[in-house]
Amino acid sequence: MLRLGVVQKNILNVLEDGKSRSSREIVEKTGLASSSIGDALRRLWQDGYVLRSDKPIYKVNRAFKGRAGISSNLRTYYLYMLRPFGEKSIWANGNRFVSYAKKYLDVRGRKLQSKAKIVVEFLKKNKDKAWYSTEIADALKENGIKPSDVMTNVRRYEKKGLVYIRGYRSDYGESPFREGYLITWIEEERPREQALEEAIQRTEDALKAKASTNQFMHRVHIVKDAIFECSKLRDLASFEYIKSKLDCSEHQAEGAITRALQLYPELREIKLFNAYRYYFHNSMPQDELRAAIAMKENYIRKVKGKANRIGHNWEAAVGFFIDTLTTGATFWSQKHRNEGMNERRITIHLVKSVSGRKYNAEVDRVWEVTPGPLLQSTTYVLECKWGLVRKKDVDDFFNVLRWSKEFGVDTPDGRQIKQGVIGVFAGSAFDPKETVKLIDESKISLATYAARMNIQLLKASDFNEKLMIRGCTKKISVQKICKIAKDENEVREVLESVWKNPEKTEKIIEEVIERNKNVYELEKMLEKTNGQFYGKQH
């Protein structure tokens, strides 16, 4: 028997209650250095004071890493307990505790085996599961095994058909998962195809388990499911649709889609007009795929073309002037599912359908102005339209307001717009020749007709006048800004720039035109193919 030192006595005091503990738990209890505890435990075991578990314990530790998700690693350790008098081995809590013997020595300390043998023995011993290469390295690090040692050695056994290795697959090869390659043993006793199928299933189970803790892998599986769902419904999945499913940033969606395409070769990407990305599952029949592509191309021609862009830009331009020139106002705001949608664009609820709108309608701005503490506030509701505005457009806006829950009210004379609510219709141009015939056969202008319905009209010329007063040259107009800007955000940026620096107007416009050449070329191509499409239809 060895003469007990201070460290050994502290360890025996901790184990005195008869419970089994790991070296880490003993370190926490004693407050001593882990190296001292490790050496002292080994001597106590050799001298017969304590028993040690005959096999190591494997435990997966998970840690939350913020935006990176949850990481995990495999910890390997032994348990120790005080040896009962006269006992050489006992069972406790499902583990067998044994006295010191060479056959129970930790091979990680003896280094009698080659690294290849150690890794292979680990896989054979744990053949019911697939392991990431980093997990294997963590489990065997006390043997001097590093992640590079794992892959170097298992590749040799992969060539012999004894190990199955899985990573991200693409047309150009294979790359590791974030935690490394997935590795599992292929059982030689079973028929080859069955053994390989079982090995593949173990890696699939490991990926699914990881998806529940790894946010990135969870997104990858959502991408796969979304594309498969759309294909079964004979449709293509757009990038924006997948991004809405993921509910994440554009950068995160890009990463998830890229990995999904690498991991699942059956998922395919197609670019329409060499600009718009769509995705489908290769199980989709070719005739259905061609039909889906044709439908998407037609949709793109309608909603991605020049007219649609300018229409949205006009809304942004009107919104800029309303926001900039309106003082003492309180604007309504709403949060939308589409992150790119302006919060000041308001969805209102309809009690009766209006021109195809069944339950909801959208207006571009709503703001309230209170002249004084004792005066009633006035609510203004804005509607925008690019192009020539006619009587039917004004009538449609009037009906939306009066049949809305927010701005309409039932009266003895029928449904009317509430008192204190004024509609504002902003059009790029109003037909000066259009008149409205009244019941008595007399005719009035469109502006007078709108005023009678308490709707004010705003024209592009009204905004151009404000730019001239600000000091901008006559070469610039709101219409031109709407035509050259690529989207609503750029419209606001350009208007803010010329508003603050009117003397630099021409230079600002030239820079925007040069920057957006690709946008104009794409729109020309869409217009060309649109003409060809409708020519074929007729």
Sign of CA dihedral 78, 83, 84, 90: positive
Number of Cα atoms under 13 Å in the Cβ half of residue 373: 0
CATH number of 215-303: 1.10.10
- Give 364's DSSP letter: S
Report the topology of domain 306-531: Trna Endonuclease; Chain: A, domain 1 (3.40.1350)
What is the CB neighbour count within 10 angstroms for residue 209?
15
What is the CB neighbour count within 10 angstroms for residue 96?
13
- Residue 125's identity, in one-letter code, is K
State the pTM of this model.
0.46
Tokens of 255: 């990463």
- E-only strand ranges, 123-216: 131-132, 163-166, 168-170, 173-175, 182-185
In 3D space, the residue among 139, 190, 182 whose CA is nearest the CA of residue 164 turns out to be 182
pLDDT of residue 385: 86
Give how far Cα 68 sits from Cα of 85, 137, 213, 254, Å: 51, 21, 11, 16
The H-or-E segment that residue 267 falls in is strand 267-272
In 3D space, the residue among 404, 396, 398, 394 whose CA is nearest the CA of residue 347 turns out to be 404
Strand partners, 268: 280
**What is the pLDDT tens value at each position of the chain, 538 positions in all?**
446 788 888 899 889 888 899 989 999 988 888 878 888 888 888 888 899 998 888 887 766 655 555 666 677 888 999 988 888 889 988 889 999 888 787 655 444 567 888 888 899 889 899 999 989 988 888 878 888 888 888 888 888 889 999 887 655 567 787 788 899 999 888 888 898 889 988 988 887 776 555 677 778 888 998 999 899 889 999 888 898 888 888 888 899 999 899 888 899 999 876 667 899 999 999 999 998 888 887 776 665 566 777 888 888 898 899 888 888 888 899 887 766 677 888 999 999 998 878 889 999 889 998 877 777 889 999 998 887 888 888 999 999 999 999 999 999 989 999 999 999 999 887 777 778 887 777 888 888 888 888 898 888 889 999 999 998 888 889 999 988 888 888 999 999 999 999 998 888 988 988 888 877 776 676 565 544 433 444 3
pLDDT of residue 183: 92
Distance CA 165, CA 151 (A): 9
What is the CB neighbour count within 10 angstroms for residue 151?
19
Q: What are the residue boundaries of the structural domains of the chain, listed by start?
A: 1-105, 215-303, 306-531
In 3D space, the residue among 159, 299, 163 whose CA is nearest the CA of residue 235 turns out to be 299
Tokens of 64: 């939350």
CA angle 26, 28, 34 (to 5 degrees): 70
> 515-522, long-range: CB within 8 Å, 24+ apart, which pairs?
515/486, 516/484, 516/485, 516/486, 519/309, 519/486, 522/273, 522/275
Helix-strand-coil percent breakdown of the chain, rounded to 5? Answer: 50, 25, 30
CATH class of the 1-105 domain in this structure = mainly alpha
Contacting residues for 445 by C-beta, under 8 A, at least 6 apart:
434, 435, 436
pLDDT of residue 58: 80
Contact (Cβ atoms closer than 8 angstroms) between residue 407 and residue 418: yes
pLDDT of residue 1: 44
pLDDT of residue 438: 79
Tokens of 233: 């419904």
The H-or-E segment that residue 76 falls in is strand 70-77
Same fold, 215-303 and 306-531: no
